[in-house]
Chains A and B, each alone.
Chain A
């Protein structure tokens, strides 16, 4: 009789893991990723992987200035991620973070250029705050309205709104260019500093970091404990259930997208008014999209998102550091980031499932 064979591997679902078991798997994945990335580095470039890792570390923590820049970048990225997260929890894929930030940045720049020196600085900053939040909110309201009313696809709609924002910014850059024909605005109000956000403490980056830290706490409470947060979670899980209990689905969609856009607008103001003091079409550095990854990796939880935005910024900085230090292409940093993300995302599979191998020593019954 032919001996029958069990399949070599079969996959079964795990029960709930304890939190530390899940984190042990994630930690293991990062370690494996580092080993694998080291191996790839040595094979492809011949560099000593330890030195490469040291360079990655130095990219973020090499000097006080680098640490402040790291903090600022984490803060702005986290801010955009916090903005898109309420929409994501509602299963509404707001990919328009970039456009909404640009709208906010444009409003800020307009206030600074047109009203700088004509208003007291405090009033100007208040106006910048209000207009940037409004501009971001409007940029999100348009797709939200069409989604709520006609069930249009918010993913495509918000994406297209990004391009409109970019073109709009490009247009105003020409309007406001300094000097004429330069094709760029340059530093706004360099001499008067009108509309520049005040510096708190020793670094111009500290204010942004504080604002985003407060925002993180508020967003955490909003999503997990407020009635609004509960409503948008129900809408995200099932619109039918939401209607069944009398939640006005259209209103929740519009309200949540407004919030999403408003915070993106705020992020735009923090960039333009707080640190960069200029406006370019690339000022967002694709953070609207990176934020999607931050939010997903952090499982839409504002506290975990602190770590995921840190991780992404840290890897990015490390990538450019090794590119300059070892004369490698800057894409090499992206390769390493890709490897590490692959391992982290892949580890989620092993948290949900167990892989069973055929028992080698099993005897025939």
Chain B
């Protein structure tokens, strides 16, 4: 591996977006037969750098060379002809077409699906993928779609592959499968770059790590010679502790009792099937499950946003009196005096208004207050300033539209607003998705503080390692049914993973 010429040499790459310097004279070498983990916090410029390699952006300055030859990558097409392929976080597939049709889509030359299917099978056999070329995309799971994306890139002859947070949507078992495939490709001499925030994945998979911070290249080293703590410190720029606290719940009392909850979506598909559980005050109830197992519907049903077919959701006051939440919309739930905060999965599409500034977004929850025809602009502004200060939101000002903020900062604004309402119940969906380590720990901290104040927290998460460290109890959903509820302390990742894919989890 040593003394080889790099497959990709990026030198002095600079890219600015208006006043924002996304990449500042970045150097990066990518070698064949190696898996490189590209690390950095949100907004550190990882995706921007890779987008320049794959032809989506053009660098303001700097040079890129492939196998020692200087190249200019003006478009994704240029990138493909140089053997560079990127698998994006959001899949770019046509739902109604088959895998094979998607894979050949946009290629020049005669359309021969039979030959294409042959070639796809050959690629699959070589690396251990499981793809049926004739299966339609809409019939596929998230992990199958991702496989199609990877095969698509390989089909076009890519031997330098970039994967942007590929495991964010996968179960532990699917992640293992993906890693096996990536290792096969590495052994076949391909160069692989993976962008991820999950330290244990970096340690398990990569051969070398490269770290960016604030758009600058900090350093690279073999993975074997470093550890999670050192990498994190380099990413953040100072020492951070990597333990998630889990204080023992103080005086937990039932707060939300869900019984026999059944929900169908608009197409009539059962998304939740007689789900029953109790969420206690002062406790974090983690919800685990493959994405799309009914997590969204569960939270939205409690928040009054999802029509319910059967069952009951009761809110239990401190004095033991009960109120039914089903059939009420968010406004009437609030008018009942139930302070229920909800951090939804879709931050900019549901929790916030992207085009409005921080103050106006703070107002979403409170603008009705008072009798005046006009809105009170001062208190939301004060709240925005408080949130910015206390949660260290990096923003030019409180009058910046939130869509301009990076993912982590958007989430801080949303969580900050929801917590400011001093809730009794806090629902969070994928609270740290796409967030870097530093922001993630800020969020865990905030959630733990809510728990300490006696809030009943329902935490839907995708990172099992985090759920196992953070939650007091874990409810595992599988296909809309409760697969089991286990105590967070002492739960095994393997067991929970099994419960996610099979009811009861005995496999």
Residues of A at the B interface (CB closer than 8 Å) are 1, 4-7, 10, 12-16, 221, 225-228, 230-231, 233-234, 237-238, 240-241, 243-248, 356, 365
Can you list 7 A-B contacts (CB < 8 A)?
A7-B74, A226-B374, A227-B368, A230-B375, A231-B367, A234-B356, A241-B352
> What residue in chain A is nearest B344 (Cβ atoms)?
A244
- Total contacts A to B, CB within 8 angstroms? 87
Bound: A44/B351 CA distance, A: 57
Q: Select A227's contact among B71, B332, B373, beta carbons within 8 Å.
A: B373
Contact A227 B18 (CB under 8 A): no
B329 to chain A, nearest CB (A): 6
Interface bin, chain B:
35 or more
Bound: A5/B72 CA distance, A: 7
Q: Select A238's contact among B71, B303, B353, beta carbons within 8 Å.
A: B353
> What residue in chain A is nearest B72 (Cβ atoms)?
A4
Bound: A356/B377 CA distance, A: 40
Contact A234 B329 (CB under 8 A): no
Contact B353 A246 (CB under 8 A): no
Contact B350 A230 (CB under 8 A): no
Bound: A13/B404 CA distance, A: 13
Bound: A246/B72 CA distance, A: 51
Complex A-B, nearest 9 residue pairs according to Cβ-Cβ distance, in ascending order? A15-B18, A246-B331, A246-B330, A15-B19, A237-B353, A4-B72, A240-B350, A245-B364, A10-B58
Q: Are A245 and B365 CB-contacts (below 8 A) given A4-B71, A12-B17, A226-B374? A: yes
Bound: A5/B367 CA distance, A: 55
Q: For B346, what are the chain A residues with a Cβ–Cβ distance below 8 Å?
A: 240
A326 to chain B, nearest CB (A): 46
Contact B349 A240 (CB under 8 A): yes
| 19 additional contacts (CB under 8 A) given A240-B350, A244-B305 | A12-B17, A12-B60, A13-B17, A221-B374, A225-B374, A226-B373, A227-B374, A230-B363, A230-B375, A233-B353, A237-B356, A240-B349, A241-B351, A243-B305, A243-B330, A246-B330, A246-B331, A246-B332, A248-B331
Q: For B129, what are the chain A residues with a Cβ–Cβ distance below 8 Å?
A: none
A223 to chain B, nearest CB (A): 12
> What residue in chain B is nearest A16 (Cβ atoms)?
B18
> What residue in chain A is nearest B63 (Cβ atoms)?
A365
Find residues 212-231 in chain B having any chain A CB closer than 8 Å to their own CB: none
Bound: A100/B334 CA distance, A: 38
Q: Select B354's contact among A227, A231, A237, A246, beta carbons within 8 Å.
A: A237
Q: Select B364's contact among A15, A234, A248, beta carbons within 8 Å.
A: A234
Q: Which of A7, A238, A240 has the most CB of B within 10 A?
A: A238
> What residue in chain B is nearest A364 (Cβ atoms)?
B70
Bound: A7/B367 CA distance, A: 50
> What residue in chain B is nearest A244 (Cβ atoms)?
B350
B304 to chain A, nearest CB (A): 8
Q: Mark B357-371, 1 if CB is under 8 A from A, else 0.
A: 000100111011000
* Chain A facing B: main interface SS: mixed
B109 to chain A, nearest CB (A): 26
Q: Which of A225, A230, A238, A244 has the most CB of B within 10 A?
A: A244
Confirm or deny: B394 has a beta carbon within 8 angstroms of a beta carbon on chain A.
Answer: no
Contact A233 B356 (CB under 8 A): yes
Q: Mark B320-340, 1 if CB is under 8 A from A, else 0.
A: 000000000111101000000
Bound: A6/B18 CA distance, A: 20
Q: For A14, what are the chain B residues with a Cβ–Cβ distance below 8 Å?
A: 18
Bound: A228/B373 CA distance, A: 8
Bound: A226/B377 CA distance, A: 10
Q: Mark B83-97, 1 if CB is under 8 A from A, else 0.
A: 000000000000000
Confirm or deny: B141 has a beta carbon within 8 angstroms of a beta carbon on chain A.
Answer: no
> What residue in chain A is nearest B65 (Cβ atoms)?
A4
Confirm or deny: B27 has a beta carbon within 8 angstroms of a beta carbon on chain A.
Answer: no
Confirm or deny: B5 has a beta carbon within 8 angstroms of a beta carbon on chain A.
Answer: no
Confirm or deny: B115 has a beta carbon within 8 angstroms of a beta carbon on chain A.
Answer: no
Confirm or deny: B233 has a beta carbon within 8 angstroms of a beta carbon on chain A.
Answer: no
> What residue in chain B is nearest A245 (Cβ atoms)?
B364
B117 to chain A, nearest CB (A): 37
Q: For A13, what are the chain B residues with a Cβ–Cβ distance below 8 Å?
A: 17-18
Contact B355 A237 (CB under 8 A): yes
Q: For B16, what are the chain A residues with a Cβ–Cβ distance below 8 Å?
A: 12
Q: For A234, what are the chain B residues with a Cβ–Cβ distance below 8 Å?
A: 353, 356, 364
Contact B349 A238 (CB under 8 A): yes
Q: For A226, what are the chain B residues with a Cβ–Cβ distance below 8 Å?
A: 373-375
Confirm or deny: B430 has a beta carbon within 8 angstroms of a beta carbon on chain A.
Answer: no
Q: For A243, what are the chain B residues with a Cβ–Cβ distance below 8 Å?
A: 305, 329-330
Bound: A254/B309 CA distance, A: 29
Bound: A24/B317 CA distance, A: 61
Bound: A12/B373 CA distance, A: 42
Bound: A38/B416 CA distance, A: 57
Q: Are A244 and B367 CB-contacts (below 8 A) given A15-B19, A226-B375? A: no
Contact A1 B375 (CB under 8 A): no
Contact B374 A244 (CB under 8 A): no
B357 to chain A, nearest CB (A): 12
Q: For B74, what are the chain A residues with a Cβ–Cβ distance below 8 Å?
A: 7
Bound: A365/B63 CA distance, A: 9
Q: For A247, what are the chain B residues with a Cβ–Cβ distance below 8 Å?
A: 331
Bound: A228/B374 CA distance, A: 8
Bound: A221/B354 CA distance, A: 23
Q: For B69, what are the chain A residues with a Cβ–Cβ distance below 8 Å?
A: 1
Q: For A241, what are the chain B residues with a Cβ–Cβ distance below 8 Å?
A: 349-353, 364
Find residues 271-316 in chain B having any chain A CB closer than 8 Å to their own CB: 303, 305
Confirm or deny: B20 has a beta carbon within 8 angstroms of a beta carbon on chain A.
Answer: yes
Q: Are A227 and B305 CB-contacts (below 8 A) given A14-B18, A241-B352? A: no
Contact B334 A246 (CB under 8 A): yes
Confirm or deny: B459 has a beta carbon within 8 angstroms of a beta carbon on chain A.
Answer: no
Q: For B60, what are the chain A residues with a Cβ–Cβ distance below 8 Å?
A: 12, 356
A60 to chain B, nearest CB (A): 36
Contact A244 B375 (CB under 8 A): no
Q: For A6, what are the chain B residues with a Cβ–Cβ distance below 8 Å?
A: 72
A43 to chain B, nearest CB (A): 37
Q: For B72, what are the chain A residues with a Cβ–Cβ distance below 8 Å?
A: 4-7
Q: Mark B44-77, 1 if CB is under 8 A from A, else 0.
A: 0000000000000010100100000111101000
Confirm or deny: B342 has a beta carbon within 8 angstroms of a beta carbon on chain A.
Answer: yes
> What residue in chain B is nearest A228 (Cβ atoms)?
B373
Q: For A237, what are the chain B residues with a Cβ–Cβ distance below 8 Å?
A: 353-356
> What residue in chain A is nearest B62 (Cβ atoms)?
A365
Q: Select A244's contact among B19, B63, B342, beta carbons within 8 Å.
A: B342
Bound: A240/B345 CA distance, A: 12
Q: For A231, what are the chain B residues with a Cβ–Cβ distance below 8 Å?
A: 367
Bound: A226/B370 CA distance, A: 12
Bound: A276/B372 CA distance, A: 40
> What residue in chain B is nearest A222 (Cβ atoms)?
B373
Bound: A87/B72 CA distance, A: 47
Q: For B367, what are the chain A residues with a Cβ–Cβ distance below 8 Å?
A: 227, 230-231
> What residue in chain A is nearest B71 (Cβ atoms)?
A4
B14 to chain A, nearest CB (A): 12
Bound: A234/B351 CA distance, A: 11
B334 to chain A, nearest CB (A): 7
Bound: A335/B352 CA distance, A: 44
